[in-house]
């Protein structure tokens, strides 16, 4: 019996984060340390062997862009430790992107946002956990609202100059904050919340990033309004109809729509479920029509 080879992450095409080429279909590690909602105290730890198997399978399927953070942990599991255990020695083409700014204490309670002089310690924490001597890409996760990021981003630019970090990105930012950061040091990616149902301004920011040659890396692509709780709500009718028309799942429609928003858009769907992983990677081969793209772009709750 013939079995067809699985679709790999290469089907989504590639993008360069600075000098690092990645498949546009990536993986987010936030869902691995626990079951249910992430980043809360008391979360039930996820299955360790399953998490390690998902990470290894992701890489087997061609994923070479993994998003993580030192603050992705539950009482017994740390995303960075799982990545290290599953994947080190790391493949040459693997790009691990981490983020700093937020922090949680040892029991999982949120700490105040890091001050600029605390960012070096957060970078070093990621280095220790991942077993690396420099980080490929570090995002400054904004916790300052619409205020200036200059001091924080300037501190990261110094770590880049010192060789601890290769490339910088920003997360949870406005277009003005992106411009402010770009005046300090090159920015290779913007990681913001973005999914079907986004506002006009959010759609425009995706386009702006493309115009500037900056990767746009959305989170909650599948979860949408469920945010941290995950894919919990009912799917909008156009997503269901388009999924039916293509014989795919709503999650795959969400991922395909997002990838088709521009060649600079990279997705990082998060899952601890091996079947979901395979389905998500396969979505890189799904092509929506222009009409389907427009219907989904104009959909609002």
Residue 72 known to be catalytic: yes
User: How many residues bind ligand NAP, per CB under 6 A?
Assistant: 28
Q: Judged by CB, which is closer to ligand NAP: 2, or 37?
A: 37
Told to check if 279 binds ligand NAP by CB under 6 A, we report yes
Considering the complex, state which of residue 103 and residue 269 has its C-beta at the smaller distance from ligand NAP. Answer: 269
**162/233 with CB nearer ligand NAP:** 233
What is the end-to-end Cα distance of the chain in Å, rounded?
Answer: 46
Percentages of the chain per state (helix, strand, coil), in multiples of 5:
40, 15, 45
**Bridge partners of 47?**
none
DSSP string for residues in 169-237: EEES--HHHHHHHHTTS---EEE-B--TT--HHHHHHHHHHHHTT-EE--B-TTTGGGGGG-S-SPPPH
Closest separation in Å from C-beta 93 to ligand NAP: 19
- DSSP string over 137-169: EEEEE--STTS--HHHHHHHHHHHHTTSEEEEE
Q: Which stretch binds ligand NAP (CB under 6 A): 108-116, 175-183, 221-229, 287-295?
A: 221-229
Of 58 and 223, which CB lies nearer to ligand NAP in the complex structure?
Answer: 223
The answer to whether 206 touches 184, Cβ cutoff 8 Å, is no
Query: Of these, 33, 62, 169, 269, which contacts ligand NAP (CB under 6 A)?
Result: 269
Crossing angle of helices 237-246 and 250-259, rounded to 10°: 90
Query: How far is Cα 73 from Cα 236, in angstroms, rounded to an integer?
Result: 32
Number of other CB atoms surrounding residue 279 within 10 Å: 18
- Rounded Cα distance between 118 and 185, Å, is 19
In the complex, minimum distance from the CB of residue 128 to ligand NAP, in angstroms, rounded to a whole number: 19
Binders of ligand NAP among 43-72, rule CB under 6 A?
A: 67
Q: Which among 9-17, 27-35, 107-115, 121-129 is the span making contact with ligand NAP, rule CB under 6 A?
A: 27-35
Minimum CB separation of residue 220 from ligand NAP in Å reads: 4
Q: Does 268 bind ligand NAP (CB under 6 A)?
A: yes
Q: Is 236 in the site for ligand NAP (CB under 6 A)?
A: no
3-state secondary structure of 123: helix
Q: Which of 71, 205, 219, 257 binds ligand NAP (CB under 6 A)?
A: 219
What is the phi/psi pair of residue 291, to 5°?
-65, -40
Residues 112-151 that bind ligand NAP (CB under 6 A): 141
172 binds ligand NAP (CB under 6 A): yes
Q: Interface with ligand NAP includes 40 (CB under 6 A)?
A: no
- Active-site residue, selected from the candidate residues 15, 27, 71, 72: 72
Residue ranges in contact with ligand NAP by CB under 6 A: 28-31, 67, 99, 141, 171-172, 191, 219-223, 230-231, 249, 251, 268-273, 276, 279-280
Residues with a catalytic annotation lie at: 72
């Amino acid at each position: 019996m013939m079995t067809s080879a699985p679709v790999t992450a290469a089907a989504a095409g590639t993008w360069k984060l600075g000098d690092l080429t990645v498949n546009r279909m990536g993986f987010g590690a936030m869902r691995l340390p626990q079951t249910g909602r992430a980043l809360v105290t008391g979360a039930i730890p996820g299955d360790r062997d399953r998490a390690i198997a998902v990470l290894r399978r992701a890489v087997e399927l061609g994923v070479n862009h993994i998003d993580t953070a030192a603050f992705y942990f539950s009482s017994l599991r740390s995303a960075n430790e799982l990545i290290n255990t599953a994947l080190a020695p790391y493949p040459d083409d693997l790009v691990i992107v981490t983020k700093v700014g937020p922090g949680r204490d040892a029991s999982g309670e949120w700490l105040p946002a890091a001050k600029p002089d605390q960012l070096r310690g957060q970078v070093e924490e990621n280095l220790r956990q991942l077993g690396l001597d420099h980080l490929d890409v570090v995002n400054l996760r904004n916790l300052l609202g619409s205020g200036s990021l200059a001091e924080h981003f300037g501190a990261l630019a110094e770590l880049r100059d010192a060789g601890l970090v290769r490339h910088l990105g920003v997360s949870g930012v406005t277009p003005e904050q992106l411009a402010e950061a770009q005046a300090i040091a090159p920015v290779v990616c913007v990681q913001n919340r973005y999914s079907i149902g986004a506002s006009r301004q959010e759609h425009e920011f995706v386009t702006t990033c493309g115009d500037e040659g900056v990767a746009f890396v959305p989170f909650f692509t599948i979860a949408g309004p469920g945010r941290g709780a995950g894919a919990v709500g009912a799917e909008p009718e156009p997503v269901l109809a388009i999924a039916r028309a293509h014989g795919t799942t709503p999650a795959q429609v969400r991922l395909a729509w997002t990838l088709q928003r521009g060649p600079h858009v990279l997705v990082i769907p998060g899952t601890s479920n091996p079947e979901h992983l395979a389905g998500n990677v396969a979505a890189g081969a799904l092509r929506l029509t222009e009409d389907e793209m427009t219907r989904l772009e104009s959909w609002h709750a």
